[in-house]
Structure 1
Amino acid sequence: MRHFYSEIPGWFTFSRFYREAIASAPEPARFVEIGVWKGRSTAFLGVEILNSAKRIRLDVVDTFQGSDELVHQQDADLGRLEQAFRRNIEPVAAVIGTIRSEPSTDAALHYRDRSLDFVFIDAAHDYESVKRDIQAWKPKIKRDGILAGHDYHPEWPGVVRAVDELCPTRTVLRKQECWVVY
């Protein structure tokens, strides 16, 4: 399938990282993407999963209420984000498992500990929110799984602080501003 993510509004700068996650994933695998906005990164990940022909189920988590960040508050789709997301990812719906419209920490309760192969956190960027997300999702990762996230960058000091405190063995992919715990 041809990529269409660039037609979806949003932010996405970690394509290489997502490709590597799919390439290294066992089969079958369970992925969770936290913080999906309108589906730009989900669309990319979905196409890559389909093109890989691997048996990977992708669940997504978002409140679909935006955030306090100004760019979110000024968006024309505010109040209709979940509908926009569902419309945008329709071409990759075959690999989407559950769409959880709730806070990340609540969504984590739906998963058993050590049941997930890959969790990517790109939701709220303040320290307390990132800390809660890491604490909620870290136990859900399988022994050889990956917990990762975006925006490990001085522009997002809350992300950096939470990751540094809770994931001392992290690897930071500086080019794509991702942090990874193997």
Structure 2
Amino acid sequence: MSAPDLIAALERIPGWFWPADQRLFEWFLSEQDAPGDVLEMGTYLGKSAVLIGGHVRRGEKFTVCDLFESDAPDADNDAETSRSYGALTRHRFEQNYLGVHDTLPEIVHGPTSIILDHVKAGACRFVHVDASHLYTQVADDVLAARTVLRADGIVAFDDYRSEHTPGVALAVWEAVGRLGLEPVCVTTHKLYGTWGDPAPVQERLLEWLATRPDLWHTTDVLGDRHLVRLNQRKKPKAERPQSDLDRLTAELRRTTAELKKVTAESQQAVQALRKATKEVSVLGPVAHRAAGWLRRRSTPAK
């Protein structure tokens, strides 16, 4: 499936996977030269999994791990999944995925705490973490991602900064501060990092971003680190074709404005005329008496 067709297919799948992150997933998955497996922990209805599946190469294994409709291992996690993911079932995920791809990825139906039983250490080139939002579970997912990633592998953490997911923020930035995770870039919704050297991938990323007018980016300094920040550019609002009604409305507005102007000028003229008339009515008798006086003065006495 071509990239445009794949992106169009994503629009039909419910979920939260924004354009800037779609472009970044495509770039990270395409620009890595050495083969490696791919892992998604937490998949919801398959929106991001469908895109990932379009970039898995021959000989690579793509694993998806999710509870789906199963019970969570503890009460807090169970409350979270019931509240936020009530519509999630494995059947709906499989339907969405097979609507685009011919075969399913390897599915681990259960909590992400069992993922190391199914994915080998150091086997993955890309990991997407989007499962629980609770600190304890995310902290375990961080350790699992570090275990399965190879040295130059990339991990993407969802909801690292949302106000309703402080547990994710704590676990992710704790990994940066204490566990050697090196941030590569961030969008509004995801943080991308590596446990390898971030400089080479950041350099290639900046070269690619320079060719993408649909994405804006900047580089922030975090102490001795550099962090690329990017997002989708807002599209200018398209001009709506002017209809007959629009043209008539615009003409009516122009006519109304001209009429108001003419009315104002007429009112000024009427006021000036009234003032002049008043002045004439006051001065008329005086002028008449003055003229009589002049005539009498100019008439010789008999």
Q: How high is the TM-score relative to the length of structure 1?
A: 0.83
Q: 2:158 aligns with which of 150, 156, 161?
A: 150
Structure 2 alignment gaps of length 5 or more: 71-77, 195-302
User: Number of matched residues?
Assistant: 172
SS of corresponding position for 2:43? coil
Asked if 2 retains the 8 angstrom alpha-carbon contact of 1:152 and 1:172, the reply is no
Separation in 1, partners of 2:33, 2:105: 17
SS of corresponding position for 2:11? helix
Structure number with higher helix proportion: 2
Matched, 1:108 2:121: no
Separation in 1, partners of 2:131, 2:25: 17
- Residue of structure 1 equivalent to 2:52: 45
Separation in 1, partners of 2:141, 2:193: 14
The list of structure 1 runs, each at least 4 consecutive aligned residues, that deviate by more than 6 angstroms after superposition, is none
Asked if 2 retains the 8 angstrom alpha-carbon contact of 1:130 and 1:162, the reply is yes
Matched, 1:177 2:194: no
AA of the residue aligned to 1:177: H
Aligned-residue offset at 1:180: 2.2
- Which deviations, in whole Å up to 9, do the C-alpha atoms of 1:129-151 show, x marking residues without a partner? 10011112211111111122111
Asked if 1 retains the 8 angstrom alpha-carbon contact of 2:176 and 2:183, the reply is no
- Residue of structure 1 equivalent to 2:65: 61
Q: 2:29 aligns with which of 22, 33, 36?
A: 22
- Residue of structure 2 equivalent to 1:130: 138
- Which deviations, in whole Å up to 9, do the C-alpha atoms of 1:63-111 show, x marking residues without a partner? 10386253423x3xx5xx10110111002244x4311111112022222
- Residue of structure 2 equivalent to 1:10: 15
Q: 1:163 aligns with which of 172, 177, 182?
A: 172
Which structure's relative contact order is higher, taking Cα pairs within 8 Å and 6+ residues apart? 1
- Residue of structure 2 equivalent to 1:32: 39
Aligned-residue offset at 1:60: 0.8
Q: 1:9 to 1:105 in 2, by over 3 A?
A: same
AA of the residue aligned to 2:24: F
SS of corresponding position for 2:93? helix
- Over the matched positions of the two proteins, sequence identity in percent amounts to 27
Separation in 1, partners of 2:62, 2:119: 13
Aligned-residue offset at 1:28: 2.8
SS of corresponding position for 1:64? coil
CA RMSD of aligned residues (A): 2.1
Asked if 2 retains the 8 angstrom alpha-carbon contact of 1:108 and 1:137, the reply is no
Q: 1:154 to 1:82 in 2, by over 3 A?
A: closer
Q: 1:109 to 1:137 in 2, by over 3 A?
A: farther
Q: 1:149 to 1:36 in 2, by over 3 A?
A: same
Aligned-residue offset at 1:33: 0.9
Q: How high is the TM-score relative to the length of structure 2?
A: 0.52
